[in-house]
Amino acid sequence: MATSASWHQTSLVDDLLETIERDPMNIEARKLLIEQYEALGWSDAAADTARNVLELWPGTKEAKALQDRYGLHSTTDSAVKVARKPLALPNIPSSGTHTALDVQQLGVEYMILQDDAKALLRELSIFSTIAPDVDCDDGLAGLNALASGRMFSAARGKYDTPEAAKSKRGGTLRSARAVAVSMKADEDHALDIAINDLEGVIERFTAKGSAADSDGDEIRETLRKRVEAIRTALPSGLCQTVSDAFMHVEHEKLQRSYRNTETMYGDPVCDIEREVFWASEDGYAWDMDELAQAISANKGAMRNPLSRENFTADDVAAIIRHPKGKRLAALEVEQMQLKQGVRQETVSRLRSMSSVMLTDMTETSQPSHEAVDDFLVYVATLPATEQQAIDRLRVPAKDSHTGQPFDDTIGDAVRDAKGNRLCFHKAGDLLRQAADFLG
């Protein structure tokens, strides 16, 4: 890993390269760039820059010193002239101010740029092989255009040859970083930007004839890599947006199969519109209008209405973040407040009552009846806010025998047990878990 001094040196290299780009004839900047390359240990880059100096200023003392230092051939050597492929220069409008020397100098600069592009193309090709998760397509395309002499095409971002453009359906993808920049610049449309990019990946994938696998595993893996590449360039607040885009693309373009084929109201999952579509981590697809209504009806319990299993923490966050689920955040907060509003004395009494219920083996269940009555008398003495907490708080409890989640609140379970609508052992099971949850 680079030291702090190295980071300073690389920053200086960037500044020098910008200076040379603005003023290609600045020999002092090139000489300083050679020194920085040597300090960083980049001998090949230093030698390439020295070669540029030799080509631009042949016969000068600087060129002579660099020629001896790096063992370079003079640009007057015939071998160099044969090795360098002539580059066709664009037509330059005659304005009366361009001299033959200007045109010659422009040709030299073009050849230097072409050589540099070839060197970078080789390095980036190697890097893309050892780091397949990094999006290098845009860079490779641009360098390939420069290396082949298509300077104007590279400047305009149109990298394909005319023949390639005709046969290419998917178009040129932007870099992952460019997509991230666009998303940060227009957060209101960040989801659409990410979706459009992933759809472009699918089009390009299909154009290459790579979508041969019937289950789409290969293209899904390609999309996941693209998602991760974009996420690395985004602030944390926008990372989830790219994951949401992948979810929508899977639903709309890849026709993903879910554990349910219909919504709770009986509509086909494939017909759910993007604005209300959401898929949970357990493989269910939802119409968020329906899901929000179901959670509200269940007093804010973040539980899958179809499987009756609790949603994961990430799913709960996604539900509340969704425009259709934002109002559920208040119910989630209320549940947390209800939990905090139960005093330890109440928790202790819950634990004692549940212990009696679970161990009561009498024929009349008299000990359980007495324990329930005592608890109800105690609850009647509590403040109204704590009574409300007991009646409305839902705990993440499951039947110890069947594994099915309980639907009752603490108050519901106690009243149902007293009214013989719920057996004492099952009520005791729920209340014991409630005491553990609150304690």
Which secondary-structure segment (H or E) carries 438? helix 424-438
Question: In this structure, is residue 246 part of a structural domain?
Answer: no
CA angle 156, 231, 125 (to 5 degrees): 50
- Asked whether the predicted pLDDT for residue 429 surpasses 60, the reply is yes
Q: Are residues 103 and 80 in the same domain?
A: yes
Question: In this structure, is residue 243 part of a structural domain?
Answer: no
Determine which of 7-21, 301-315, 323-337, 365-379 has the lowest per-residue pLDDT on average: 7-21
**Mean pLDDT on 156-178:** 53
- Looking at 211, 234, 257, the residue that finishes a domain is 234
Q: Which of 418, 408, 416, 413 is nearest to 372 (CA)?
A: 418
- Looking at 110, 136, 163, the residue that finishes a domain is 163
Give the pLDDT of residue 92: 44
Question: In this structure, is residue 244 part of a structural domain?
Answer: no
Contact 407, 347 (CB under 8 A): no
* CA pair distance 66, 298, nearest whole angstrom: 80
Determine which of 19-23, 173-177, 247-251, 252-256 has the lowest per-residue pLDDT on average: 19-23
Q: Are residues 355 and 326 in the same domain?
A: no
Q: Are residues 357 and 396 in the same domain?
A: yes
pLDDT digits (tens, 9 = 90+) for 183-230: 999 999 999 999 999 998 888 877 655 444 445 788 898 899 889 888
Give the pLDDT of residue 159: 47
- Asked whether the predicted pLDDT for residue 51 surpasses 60, the reply is yes
- Asked whether the predicted pLDDT for residue 152 surpasses 90, the reply is no
Q: How many domains does the chain have?
A: 4
Determine which of 50-54, 109-113, 156-160 has the lowest per-residue pLDDT on average: 156-160
- Looking at 317, 338, 359, the residue that finishes a domain is 338
Contact 300, 334 (CB under 8 A): yes
* CA pair distance 211, 293, nearest whole angstrom: 39
* CA pair distance 432, 347, nearest whole angstrom: 10
Residue with tokens 């357990």: 282
Q: Are residues 41 and 155 in the same domain?
A: yes
For 258, other C-beta atoms within 10 Å of its C-beta total 17
**Mean pLDDT on 161-177:** 53
* CA pair distance 105, 86, nearest whole angstrom: 14
Determine which of 119-123, 299-303, 369-373 has the lowest per-residue pLDDT on average: 119-123
Structural domain harbouring 193? 176-234
Categorize the per-residue pLDDT at 155 as very low, low, confident or very high, splitting at 50, 70 and 90: low
Question: In this structure, is residue 394 part of a structural domain?
Answer: yes
Give the pLDDT of residue 266: 94
Give the pLDDT of residue 153: 52
Q: Are residues 364 and 433 in the same domain?
A: yes
Average pLDDT of the chain?
Answer: 79
Q: Are residues 289 and 404 in the same domain?
A: no
Alpha-helical regions (H) of 57-189: 61-70, 78-83, 100-130, 137-147, 151-156, 162-167, 176-185
Which residues make Cβ contacts (< 8 Å) with residue 186, sequence separation at least 6? Answer: 193
Q: Is the overall model pTM greater than 0.75, yes or no?
A: no
Which secondary-structure segment (H or E) carries 277? strand 277-279
Q: Are residues 134 and 281 in the same domain?
A: no
Q: Are residues 70 and 186 in the same domain?
A: no
Q: Which tokens sit at 106?
A: 């422009």
Q: Are residues 349 and 428 in the same domain?
A: yes
Q: Are residues 384 and 425 in the same domain?
A: yes
Question: In this structure, is residue 256 part of a structural domain?
Answer: no
- Asked whether the predicted pLDDT for residue 1 surpasses 90, the reply is no
Question: In this structure, is residue 351 part of a structural domain?
Answer: yes
Name which residue leads in pLDDT, 357 or 213.
357
Name which residue leads in pLDDT, 195 or 64.
195
Give the pLDDT of residue 356: 95
Q: Are residues 362 and 384 in the same domain?
A: yes
Give the pLDDT of residue 148: 67
Give the pLDDT of residue 304: 93
Question: In this structure, is residue 169 part of a structural domain?
Answer: no
- Asked whether the predicted pLDDT for residue 11 surpasses 60, the reply is no
pLDDT digits (tens, 9 = 90+) for 73-109: 654 443 333 344 444 444 444 444 555 555 566 666 7
Question: In this structure, is residue 80 part of a structural domain?
Answer: yes
**Mean pLDDT on 325-335:** 78
Give the pLDDT of residue 242: 95
Q: Are residues 109 and 219 in the same domain?
A: no
- Asked whether the predicted pLDDT for residue 282 surpasses 50, the reply is yes
Give the pLDDT of residue 222: 87
**CATH code of the domain covering residue 330:** 3.30.40
Which residues make Cβ contacts (< 8 Å) with residue 295, sequence separation at least 6? Answer: 301, 302, 303, 305, 319, 325, 328, 331
% residues pLDDT > 70 (the chain): 76
Q: Which amino acid is at 107?
A: G
Give the pLDDT of residue 405: 83
* CA pair distance 220, 31, nearest whole angstrom: 49
